[in-house]
Chain A
Amino acid sequence: MPSLKSLRVRINSVKSTQKITSAMKMVAASKLRRAQTQAEAARPYAQRMERMLASLGASVIGSPTAPKLLVGTGADKVHLLVPVTADRGLAGAFNSNVGRMTRSLARQLELEGKTVKILPVGRKGRDFLKRELASRIVSDISYAGRKSIGFADAQDVAHRIVTMLDAGEFDVCTVIYNRFQSVISQVPTEMRLIPAPLPEAKQEAGSGAKAIYEFEPDEETMLARLLPQNLAIQVYRALLESAAGEHGARMTAMDNATRNAGDMIKRLSQTYNRARQANITRELIEIISGAEAV
């Protein structure tokens, strides 16, 4: 039986942990709201970009001079994986889900005889993959200590990917990130960046046949500009979804932790009260039997 004092200390320490986790939950909730608005605000640009790309891409896809960003290098030898994770932990399985998915993807690709390179975005993913796949990590990007990510950060990542592609360092690029499904569920997803999956030119209801666009300058110059921008947009989207997911995951994790701490406090106080009661009873018995003996 633990002593009364040690129980008291224990209860107090769990109580302060609970205070921290509930505060973290609150912080995550407000950050989640901000991240969600940011993700929402980025949507119109992405949609319109997709629409333009659909009408543009269709006209050059068959041509032999189609840009590398769209059709890839033609080979399928070297794969670049870009896992997007958070810079902080305490978010449940959020980071390790992406890590695990990256690891199994890398293993599978290597079994097929392909070379794998990894460019982790976010500190936690890097740390996770360093343990087993350190030799495949080419470089890493992290935003530790930053308040929020902007489009410039995504452009930076995209720029590095494009530079690597131009240098012929990989053939296929895949981003692995947590897709934000809802506050309680984030789905690790892989998204192919290069060669770019072409959005289908959707027939807009009401407008009848698809509009035939004139391009100024010509399609190829246009595509050469549009594709890097599109890449940045895709990266931006992944970063934002991941940020929203991170806060969602942390909120859930901290909610659970707060609840568990509550349970623990309940259990410990019960033990404490029992021990106290037992002590009192024992002392009473001692007094009574002492009095009887006199």
Chain B
Amino acid sequence: MPVDLEIVSPEKLLLSRPVDMVVVPASEGELGVLPGHSPMIVLLRGGTIRLYEGNRVTDQLFVSGGFAEVTPERVTVLANEATPVEAVSRAEGQRRLAAAEAEYAAINKLDVAALDAAMDRVQSARAMIEAAQAA
């Protein structure tokens, strides 16, 4: 019994199809979802979503962050963007990293929430570069 995976961006439904297993980059570690997983809502960090059919990875998609809702029969990923890893651009990742680091440096160090958000963006940009290198 496969699990129905949906990846949605604010602008459109990116992907909707049944897979055997999906690994999503949750903020507190990678999360592998098989059918019948207990219901969860997780925050995503920047990283790659891997789609499995049998024991084979069929697709890898880079997401820069977002949310995922897991129910026993369905996984819904709300991502701001999702790009197949082959299409991830290293230059774009480096540009984002530079921007995010500059932003991080500019933030008042006492504003913890803003620091966290900026740190996430730095991490997401680094993950993008990694994804581009791995592809």
Show the binding face of A for B, using Cβ within 8 Å.
38, 41-42, 44-46, 48-49, 51-52, 55-56, 150-151, 154, 211-217, 221-222, 224-226, 229, 232-233, 236
Within 8 A of A (CB), among B28-50: 28, 31, 38-43
Provide 15 A-B residue pairs closer than 8 Å at the C-beta atoms, listed in order of the A residue: A42-B11, A44-B12, A45-B8, A45-B10, A45-B78, A48-B69, A52-B41, A150-B11, A154-B10, A213-B69, A214-B39, A214-B41, A216-B27, A216-B42, A225-B43
Closest 6 CB pairs of A and B: A41-B12, A151-B10, A211-B39, A45-B8, A214-B40, A216-B42
Digit string of B73-89 for contact with A (CB within 8 Å is 1, else 0)?
A: 00010101000000000
Query: Does B26 sit within 8 A of A, measured CB to CB?
Result: yes
| Chain B contact residues, CB within 8 Å of chain A | 6, 8-13, 26-28, 31, 38-43, 67, 69, 71, 76, 78, 80, 113
User: Contacts A151-B11, A226-B67 given: A49-B78 contact, CB under 8 Å?
Assistant: yes
Query: In the complex, what residues of B have CB within 8 A of residue A46's CB?
Result: 10
Q: Is the CB of A42 within 8 A of B12?
A: yes
A213 to B40, Cβ gap below 8 A?
Answer: yes
Contacts A154-B10, A225-B43, A229-B78 aside, 19 further interface pairs with beta carbons under 8 A come to A41-B11, A45-B8, A45-B10, A45-B13, A45-B78, A48-B69, A52-B67, A52-B69, A151-B10, A151-B11, A212-B39, A213-B39, A213-B40, A216-B26, A216-B41, A216-B42, A217-B28, A222-B41, A225-B67
Counted as pairs of residues, one from A and one from B, with CB atoms less than 8 Å apart, the total is 75
- Would B41 and A221 count as touching, CB distance under 8 A? no
Dominant SS among interface residues on chain B: strand
Kindly identify which residue among A154, A216, A229 contacts B28, using a CB–CB cutoff of 8 Å.
A216
Q: Which residue of A lies closest to B117 (CB)?
A: A225
Which chain B residues border A226 with CB–CB below 8 Å? Answer: 67
When distances are taken between beta carbons in the complex, the residues of chain A under 8 Å from B26 are 216
A211 to B6, CA, bound (A): 18
Residues of B within 8 A of A154 (CB): 10
Closest chain A residue to B40 by CB distance?
A: A214
Closest A residue, CB atoms, query B73: A207
Asked if residues A233 and B10 are in contact (CB atoms below 8 Å), the reply is yes
Give chain A residues whose Cβ lies under 8 Å from the Cβ of B10: 42, 45-46, 151, 154, 232-233, 236
Contacts of A38 in B (CB 8 A): 11
Contacting pair B40 A215 (CB below 8 A): yes
Closest to B79 in A: A45
Contact: B8 with A48, CB < 8 Å?
yes
Report which of A151, A211, A229 forms a contact with B71, defined as CB distance below 8 A: A211
Q: How far is the CB of A134 from chain B (nearest CB, A)?
A: 33
| Closest residue on chain A to residue B69 by CB atoms | A52
CA distance A222 to B11 in the complex (A): 22
Chain A residues with CB under 8 Å of B41's CB are 52, 55-56, 213-216, 222
What separation, in Å, do the CA atoms of A229 and B41 have in the docked complex?
Answer: 15
Chain B residues near A213: list those with CB within 8 A: 39-41, 69
Docked-complex contact A45 and B67, CB < 8 angstroms: no
Q: How far is the CA of A160 from the CA of B78 in the complex (A)?
A: 23
Interface centre among B6, B8, B39, B40 (most CB of A within 10 A): B8
Q: How far is the CB of A167 from chain B (nearest CB, A)?
A: 13
**For residue B81, which residue of chain A has the nearest CB?**
A151
Asked if A48 contacts B78 (CB within 8 A), the reply is yes
A211 to B74, CA, bound (A): 12
